[in-house]
Amino acid sequence: MAATTAFKGAKSSRWRRFVLKPFVFVQFFFGIGLLAIALKQFRRKNTHPAQSPELIAKDWEILYYRIIPFRAISRAWGWLTNCHLPVWARRPLLGLYARTFNCNLEEAKDGNLDNYSCLAEFFRRKLKNGVRPIDSASAVVAPSDGTVLNFGRVTAGMMEQVKGVSYSLGEFLGPAYWRNGPEVQPAGQTELEYEKSLLVNKDNDLFHCVIYLAPGDYHCFHSPVDWTVNFRRHFPGALLSVNPSIAKWVAGLFSLNERAVYVGRWEHGFFSMTPVGATNVGSIRVYADEKLRTNCTKWALPLPYYDRYMGPTETDSDEIPLHKGEIFGEFNLGSTIVLIFEAPKDFEFKIRPGEKIRMGQPLHVTGSSVKQEAAAH
């Protein structure tokens, strides 16, 4: 028996030596690397003024940041938040979450915390009828609750992520062949040419708006206009944090992350709405698109993106007509919505960067031609 015990002890010791020690070393050096990046960024902030290009992450820093297993972490978080909570634990745990993130329980359709069986259910809570009135006079309304990160006119195929940090329209949407089926992207096409290729009416301009949903916000997203969806492109991507502080640091953040780009037409031409995934928000659900599967392993979705045509000629799918304010989908926890759309040149936004907005409120100045044309209809 003593010999058997010694043998088992030796096996256990060898297992620790060959498995645990390398893991500890990886953790140690990985932690040191992240600490080095943090210290370097801290020194940059003390040396350079706010919004300085020097504060944007270098390529090697982004590469190191992306090594963190955010997708596995997000799946683990998803499993944890879906764990059944005993009734006695619901009020203290969910109440703590609600107080921490300033959730307004008075707006919830069900304000009794005892009725939510898990944290994920509370994340996806629905609101009472009437607490988010849809502005009938506005052609474009906020698709969700959240904070405005940035908005404006698309310039030479580039969009501002936050002030001083831009990203490419073409990289975010991918090849623009959703109108007539698969085509080869023209060789050498510039960012400006790509932008112009999206316009249905060449007298219009492209505009964009980015809204960040915090953990305490209402997590469903709605249609901001009357439009018809006829194409979806799913980028498996990464699941980096989309917190505003990270958005100021990582250029092209939204083009790196998992996202589902929905493309269609509204009264002025091109319109797209993109829910973007993030750390602990791998699960994006779109009610009219049951085929969408997010936060899968790289082995399950190895390609850069996956297209689905929803035109009336498709045998397995139909276009998705959406009315302004109609519920479209939901996030688990919080993330980002990116709107990119075509509108008359005099379109003006009615919002400010950093402003807290609520689903259904107007996004544009009602004196513009967009409003006048909407009223005419």
- Mind telling me the catalytic residues? 145, 222, 335
Please measure the distance between the N-terminal and C-terminal CA atoms of the chain and give it in whole angstroms.
Answer: 89
Beta bridge partners of 207: 153, 341
Find, among 292, 268, 123, 263, the residue nearest to 201 by Cα: 268
The length of the chain in residues reads 377
Cβ-in-10-Å burial (0-12, 13-18, 19+) of 348 comes to: middle
Element (H, E) at 90: helix 87-100
Between the CA atoms of 245, 251, 256 and 259, what dihedral angle is there, to the nearest 10 degrees? 60
Beta strands at 356-357 and 284-286: parallel, antiparallel or unpaired: unpaired
Residue with tokens 């319109």: 271
Between the CA atoms of 75, 78, 79 and 85, what dihedral angle is there, to the nearest 10 degrees? 170
Joined together, the tokens standing for residue 56 give 């944007």
In terms of phi and psi (left: phi > 0; alpha: psi -120 to 50; beta: otherwise), the region of 353 is beta
Task: Please list, residue by residue across 31-47, b when 16 or more beta carbons sit within 10 angstroms of its beta carbon and e when fewer do.
Answer: eeeeeebeeeeeeeeee
What is the rounded radius of gyration, in angstroms, for the C-alpha atoms of the chain? 23
Contact 111, 318 (CB under 8 A): no
Joined together, the tokens standing for residue 89 give 């634990």
Cβ-in-10-Å burial (0-12, 13-18, 19+) of 291 comes to: exposed
Q: How far is CA 202 from the centre of its chain?
A: 29
Distance CA 143, CA 138 (A): 13
